[in-house]
Amino acid sequence: MVSLIDPKTLLHIEGFSAKRVAWLKNKVLSEGVWTKPLCIERDHRLVMDGQHRMEVALALGLSAVPCLLFDYHDVDVWSLRHTEEVTRELVIQRSLEGNIYPYKTAKHGFPIEMPVLDIPLERLR
């Protein structure tokens, strides 16, 4: 079930690309709709998937963003970098400490297929 959550209450787990945020922001503005939910760890509101979408929501001043909430025990996690150790516990710890992983480090496998959304931006303002 998709929940609408204030993006200011969410926490990054890894860095992001400012160039990608700018591209995605323009795409969202030109389409006028939000099409993909962020995937959020339910207990700490960590952004497991959607770092760029979170930044777009903040840049647009949205008061809500569509999210799917997950328990970390139901999600697989691994590293895209051989030099970084990524576990559920480390992701949570590092995010809460503000010591997020570098961009493109943590990858998650979710137990459901991601829905395609069609939520007008005005509904999220």
Q: What is the pTM of this model?
A: 0.95
Mean pLDDT for each consecutive 10-residue tract of the chain (125 residues)? 97 98 98 98 98 98 98 96 95 97 97 96 97
Q: CA-CA distance, 123 to 34, in Å (whole number)?
A: 10
Question: Which secondary-structure segment (H or E) carries 24?
Answer: helix 18-31
Residue that has been written with the tokens 């959304």 in this structure: 117
Q: Provide the sign of the torsion angle of the four alpha carbons 117, 123, 124, 125, taken in this order.
A: positive
Q: CA-CA distance, 77 to 108, in Å (whole number)?
A: 5
Structural contact between residues 80 and 107, judged by C-beta atoms closer than 8 angstroms: yes
DSSP symbols for 35-50: -S-EEEETTTTEEEE-
Dump pLDDT digits (tens) for 21-51. Answer: 999 999 999 999 999 999 999 999 999 999 9
- How does DSSP classify residue 77? E
Question: Which secondary-structure segment (H or E) carries 67?
Answer: strand 65-70
Q: CA-CA distance, 27 to 31, in Å (whole number)?
A: 6
